[in-house]
Structure 1
């Protein structure tokens, strides 16, 4: 299992196609889980796809050391 960050155009765009996808490297899992408020990958499966706040996205960018598009609705989920 791994954490997957996805980005979609805002709702008003009427386009639900995937615009970006980022699989979180295993060494960053716990830091990202902490930012989202989840204890484990197993627990996060129960949450399904969760939209991240802008603050969470910026914090995750800092952890991962790479930018995440700010013009998209960004979500996180577990990919098995």
Structure 2
């Protein structure tokens, strides 16, 4: 399982298509868990998590690239 960040427009009433997607290496999971306030991968696997601006900034540092702040970003696990 690997983490994936997906982004959508904040106002999706007219366009709910995927605007951003970033597949991350599974080795980053241990760094992602504390950003989400989770203790285990099982908690993370429960669904997708909406990221706050603060979490997006921390994720950007973790992945080593800027993430868009103008989208609603979610993170979840994919098989």
Question: TM-score normalised to the size of structure 1?
Answer: 0.87
Count of aligned residue pairs for this structure pair: 79
Q: CA deviation at 1:40?
A: 2.5
Gaps of at least 5 residues in structure 2 are none
Q: Deviations over 1:2-61 (max 9, x none)?
A: 111110011255211000111121222110111111223222112x11110000000010
> Which structure has greater helix proportion?
1
Gaps of at least 5 residues in structure 1 are none
Which runs of at least 4 in structure 1 moved beyond 6 Å after TM superposition?
none
Cα RMSD for the two superposed structures: 1.4
Q: Give runs of aligned pairs for residues 1-80 of structure 1, distance below 5 A.
A: 1-11=1-11, 14-46=14-46, 48-80=47-79
- Contact preservation (8 Å) 1:44, 1:77: yes
Question: TM-score normalised to the size of structure 2?
Answer: 0.88
